[in-house]
Each structure stands twice: as structure tokens, then as C-alpha cells.
Amino acid sequence: MVSPKVSPKVPPNNIYLKITNKVVEHNAVLICIKKPLSLN
């Protein structure tokens, strides 16, 4: 999580956001793939 020492006013790290977005998208894809397989 975000360190409490970091001020919310400081713009977030774009690279960190991009990696986070990729991870979220990847997890979402895995969930979408696993759900139909688990129903079979």
C-alpha cells in the first residue's frame, strides 16, 4: 500500500500505476478464464 509518509498531493508514479493496471487486468483475465472452466 501507499506509505503514509508520501503526501497525497504528490503525483503518483506513472510506472507504478502502469504495472498495477497490468496486474489488475491480468488477474481479471485469469478470473474470466477460470470461471467458465470451473463450471464445466
pLDDT in tens, 1-40: 555 565 556 566 777 888 888 999 998 888 888 877 766 5
Distance, CA of 40 to CA of 30 (rounded, Å):
16
Q: Which three cell numbers stand for residue 20?
A: 498495477
| pTM for this prediction | 0.45
User: According to the model, what pLDDT value does residue 15 have?
Assistant: 75
Secondary structure (DSSP) of 1-40: ---TTS-TTSPPPHHHHHHHHHHHHHHHHHHHHHHHHHH-
